[in-house]
Every structure is written in C-alpha cells, then in structure tokens.
C-alpha cells in the first residue's frame, strides 16, 4: 500500500496535443480515488501514466516514496484491471491469476494458496481450470480482478472495469468492488465515465475535462458544492438545470420568477443559475416553514412517473444557457440529460403524490437556498470562496484519516452500505 502523487504531470503527444495538462493530485494511502469525466478528458491517459504504460512528458509521479517517472510498469508494483480484461486466452483461470506471482518466482505452493484464496473471495473456485473463452462476461471480469488482488500490490488501477457488463451485473459488481477495496484497504485508482459509479464508489472523486483536473472532492461535496458549471452539470442524474438570470438591485431575476439575491454574492449583472431537479417540488407539497422558497407557474410538457418519484419537464422562455462546458456535456451525454443546455426546458423531480399532468400549467416551488450560481464568463461557481474550497479539502483529509485509522470495524461487516456511510463521514464544512 502506498500513496500516489502526481505533481504537474503533463502528457503531450508527438503532434503537440496535450491529453493531460499539469495535473496535480495526491491519492492517500488506502484511498479509493475515482477519475471521472466525459470521453476524451484524459482520465484513462492519466491512469496509464500511473501504470507506466504511457510516458510522462512533464512533471513528477511518485508511488510510495519512489519517483516512478522512468520506471517500467513491472517495477512499479501496481496491478491493473483493463477495460476489456486482457485475460491471457491460452492460460487457465488459475494460470492467469498466478502469472504475476510466477514471474516473481514465488514458490508454487504459495501461488496455489494465494490463487485459491482469491478465487474463493471472488467466487471463482469452481472455474479455476477453465479457459477465459469458456467464462461469462461477469466471470471474466472477476478473473481480471483476481489477477490483480493475488499480487497484493501497492495500488490497484482500474480502467472502466465495469463498462463491458450489462446493467444489472454492473450494479452488483460495483458493490463487490467497493467491498473488496474496503476489505483489502489498498490504494485504488478507478477510471470511469459513469457518474453513478463515481458517486457510489469513491472516497474522493476527481473530475476531469479536456485534460484539466476540475475538482477533487468527496462525492457529496462534489454534488452540493461544484466548483464550476462543468462539474455541476456532470455530476447528478438527471443533470442540474441551468438558467440565465441577472442580479440587479438586490434582486435575482430568473426566467420564471424573481427572488431576493442570495447573501454573500457580490456579483451583479448576468449570471447562470443552476437548480437541481430535486430542489423543485410541486407547490402543494412544498415544505412548510421553509425560509427561502418561491412558487411559480410552469407549463408542463412531459411527465415521467418512476413510481417513487415523478420527473416533470417544463418549458420556460428567454433563459436558455449556452456555454462551451454545457455544450460538451450535452455532446457527451445526450441533450436530454442536460435540459438547460437543450433549450428552454428544465426537469423537476416531484413527490410521487403530485398530480400535475402533461399539457397543463402547474404551480411549482423551488428551494431558493439551494441555488447554484455561476459566473457566465468562466463558468466558475460564485458561491465558493477560496476559504470554502480549502475547508472542503481539509474536511476530506480529516475524514479519510479518521476512516483508515479510527474505526476498527471488521472488514467482513462492510456490506452494501459501505459507500453511503463513507459519504456521510465527509460532510463539507
């Protein structure tokens, strides 16, 4: 186990394009770090640089207390799970899992013992003598994980390990990954483009865009306090709604209403306002005695009932937001998931008892205390001061320190509830 440090790490290709730009990131010993971002954001390249499969053009990479810039992958003592698993097709599951140990000249008895133990953990015991071709997708995925864990490496690197599984298996395996990491307590760097995986798995999540690290924070901080419009739009599903508004004379003007400008915002003039779908509610079910809420009339276009909640799409006029960040998100995830970017439509999550219907006008309510305000020029959050950001980082570090040295809960007890619990530990200040 070891910590991984990236200091101004840059990846530049021969033609001058930069896949990763001056990335600095500290991954603590035993931490579960997620690298997330849309395709082409450089997250996989960053992971491959940690693995040693890509050269580092500039900057310094440290694993444990060794600078590894010029070390080949075999000397870095890391294990990697590839997106397509990369199992050796001519070897049995047993040989696949024992390959690294065999290369390291570990005695055969010990190899057998470790492989069998890993197989037991991963429920592969009865498949040990089969070839990868005869395994199902989920089994192959577990063999790939097994190949990594038998080695007891300094760190696990995972490159979208679940993306080849079908939806149901993915959810199940996601839980297993979380459990495994808690049990092994090994530093893990996990790359994904799926923000659900990022939110549920990581101690901390690093959001990347076009090779630049945007924000590194625990999932909850990322969700509640995104540093910019890109992170705000990327994290959360359905995505945050964006409206263009303006602040003048102590009033914040939105396309559908006007409220008192929130405290502590020095900005005046044009502004981008983000409201998460769950911060809307049917006016009839709006929480009582809520200090800062506001009702408004909205024409309802589509109603999607999910049983436990209702998603309502309503239109508004003259407040569409256009920005590079949102355009990129829309390209990557499909316009429907970023309603604000797709034109004058927004999505609200309402209580299942709500009886709003399509084609009518309904009274909605939103929580004015939970507005996200962004600078329309650079997309940065207007509510986050530098001090806030530092506080969030400190909180994170404390939380992680407490988690790994404080509680002595036996690993087996860490079930499905592990991930949410951890989120709770790291509340922002």
Partner 1 sequence: MRNRSPRAYLASTAALLIVLFYALIPVLWLLSLSFKTPATVSDRKFIPQDVTFENYTSLFAGGLDSALLRPLINSISIALIATVIAVTLAAFTAYAIARLDFPGKTVILAGALAIAMFPPISVVGPLFDMWRTLGLYDTYVGLIIPYLTFALPLAIYTLVAFFREIPWELEQAAQVDGATPWQAFRKIILPLAAPGVFTAAILVFIFAWNDFVFAITLTSSDSARTVPAALAFFTGDSQFTAPTGNIAAAAILVTIPIIVFVLIFQRRIVAGLTAGAVKG
**Whose Cβ is closer to partner 1: residue 86's or residue 171's?**
86
The reply on whether position 53 binds partner 1 by CB under 8 A is yes
Of 11, 28, 94, 140, which lies in the binding site for partner 1, with binding defined by CB under 8 A? Answer: 140
**Distance between CA 243 and CA 298 in Å, rounded?**
14
Rg of the chain taking only CA atoms, in angstroms: 24
Of 114, 142, 147, 209, which lies in the binding site for partner 1, with binding defined by CB under 8 A? Answer: 147
**Whose Cβ is closer to partner 1: residue 135's or residue 254's?**
135
**Whose Cβ is closer to partner 1: residue 164's or residue 196's?**
164
The reply on whether position 138 binds partner 1 by CB under 8 A is no
**Of 356, 248, 234, 217, which is closest to residue 298 (Cα–Cα)?**
356
The distance of closest approach from Cβ of residue 141 to partner 1 in the complex, given in angstroms and rounded to an integer, is: 9
The reply on whether position 84 binds partner 1 by CB under 8 A is yes
**Distance between CA 277 and CA 350 in Å, rounded?**
8
Q: Compute the half-sphere exposure of residue 409: CA atoms within 13 Å on the CB side of its CA.
A: 14
**Distance between CA 227 and CA 374 in Å, rounded?**
9
The distance of closest approach from Cβ of residue 190 to partner 1 in the complex, given in angstroms and rounded to an integer, is: 16
The reply on whether position 266 binds partner 1 by CB under 8 A is no
**Distance between CA 227 and CA 165 in Å, rounded?**
32
The reply on whether position 136 binds partner 1 by CB under 8 A is no
Buried b (16+ CB within 10 A) or exposed e, 365-402: bbbbeebbbbbbeebebbbbeeebbeebeebbeebbee
**Whose Cβ is closer to partner 1: residue 98's or residue 379's?**
98
- Quick check: bond before 252 cis, omega within 30? no
Of 8, 13, 74, 352, which lies in the binding site for partner 1, with binding defined by CB under 8 A? Answer: 74
The reply on whether position 205 binds partner 1 by CB under 8 A is no
Of 35, 78, 191, 232, which lies in the binding site for partner 1, with binding defined by CB under 8 A? Answer: 78
**Distance between CA 193 and CA 43 in Å, rounded?**
9
Residue carrying structure tokens 């959001």: 207
The reply on whether position 151 binds partner 1 by CB under 8 A is yes
**Distance between CA 142 and CA 79 in Å, rounded?**
14
How many residues at the interface with partner 1, by CB under 8 A? Answer: 31
The reply on whether position 121 binds partner 1 by CB under 8 A is no
The distance of closest approach from Cβ of residue 90 to partner 1 in the complex, given in angstroms and rounded to an integer, is: 5
The reply on whether position 51 binds partner 1 by CB under 8 A is yes
The reply on whether position 90 binds partner 1 by CB under 8 A is yes
The reply on whether position 71 binds partner 1 by CB under 8 A is no
66 CB-near residues (< 8 Å, 6+ apart): none
Q: Are 208 and 38 in contact (CB under 8 A)?
A: no
The distance of closest approach from Cβ of residue 192 to partner 1 in the complex, given in angstroms and rounded to an integer, is: 17
The reply on whether position 52 binds partner 1 by CB under 8 A is yes
13 CB-near residues (< 8 Å, 6+ apart): 19
User: How crowded is residue 253: how many other Cβ atoms within 10 Å of its Cβ?
Assistant: 20
The reply on whether position 167 binds partner 1 by CB under 8 A is no
The reply on whether position 55 binds partner 1 by CB under 8 A is no
**Distance between CA 200 and CA 413 in Å, rounded?**
18
Of 34, 68, 80, 356, which lies in the binding site for partner 1, with binding defined by CB under 8 A? Answer: 80
The reply on whether position 64 binds partner 1 by CB under 8 A is no
Of 65, 133, 249, 353, which lies in the binding site for partner 1, with binding defined by CB under 8 A? Answer: 133
3-state secondary structure of 59: strand
Q: Give residues in contact with partner 1 (CB under 8 A).
A: 51-53, 72-74, 78-80, 82, 84-90, 99-100, 103-104, 131-135, 137, 140, 147, 151, 164
């Amino acid at each position: 186990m070891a910590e991984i440090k990236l200091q101004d790490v840059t990846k530049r290709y021969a033609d001058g394009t930069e896949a990763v730009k001056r990335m600095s990131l500290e991954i603590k010993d035993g931490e579960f770090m997620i690298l997330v971002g849309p395709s082409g954001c450089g997250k996989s390249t960053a992971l491959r640089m940690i693995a040693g499969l890509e050269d580092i053009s500039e900057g310094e990479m440290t694993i444990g207390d060794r600078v590894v810039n010029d070390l080949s992958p075999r000397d870095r003592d890391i294990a990697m799970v590839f997106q397509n698993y990369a199992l050796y097709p001519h070897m049995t599951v047993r040989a696949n899992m024992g390959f690294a140990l065999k290369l390291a000249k570990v005695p055969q008895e010990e190899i057998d013992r470790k492989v069998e133990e890993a197989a037991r953990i991963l429920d592969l015991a009865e498949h040990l003598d089969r070839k990868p071709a005869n395994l199902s997708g989920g089994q192959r995925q577990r063999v790939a994980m097994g190949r990594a864990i038998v080695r007891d490496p300094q760190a696990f690197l995972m490159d979208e390990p679940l993306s080849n599984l079908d939806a149901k298996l993915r959810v199940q395996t996601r839980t297993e990954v979380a459990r495994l990491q808690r049990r092994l307590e090994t530093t893990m760097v996990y790359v994904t483009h799926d923000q659900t995986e990022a939110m549920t798995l990581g101690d901390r999540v690093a959001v990347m865009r076009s090779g630049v690290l945007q924000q590194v924070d625990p999932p909850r901080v990322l969700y509640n306090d995104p540093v910019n419009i890109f992170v705000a739009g990327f994290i959360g599903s359905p995505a945050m709604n964006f409206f263009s508004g303006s602040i003048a004379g102590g009033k914040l003007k939105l396309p559908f209403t006007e409220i008192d400008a929130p405290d502590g915002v020095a900005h005046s003039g044009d502004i981008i306002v983000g409201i998460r779908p769950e911060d809307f509610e049917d006016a009839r079910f709006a929480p009582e005695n809520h200090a800062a809420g506001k009702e408004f009339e909205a024409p309802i276009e589509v109603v999607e009932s999910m049983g436990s909640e209702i998603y309502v799409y309503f239109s508004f006029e003259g407040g569409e937001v256009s920005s590079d960040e949102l355009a990129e998100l829309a390209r990557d995830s499909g316009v429907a998931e970023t309603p604000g970017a797709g034109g004058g439509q927004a999505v609200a999550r309402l209580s299942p008892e709500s009886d709003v219907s399509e084609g009518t006008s309904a009274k909605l309510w939103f929580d004015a205390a939970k507005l996200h305000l962004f600078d329309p020029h650079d997309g940065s959050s207007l509510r986050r001061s530098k001090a806030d950001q530092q506080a969030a980082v400190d909180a994170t570090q404390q939380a992680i320190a407490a988690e790994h040295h404080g509680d002595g809960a036996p690993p087996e007890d860490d079930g499905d509830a592990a991930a949410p619990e951890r989120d709770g530990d790291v509340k922002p200040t």
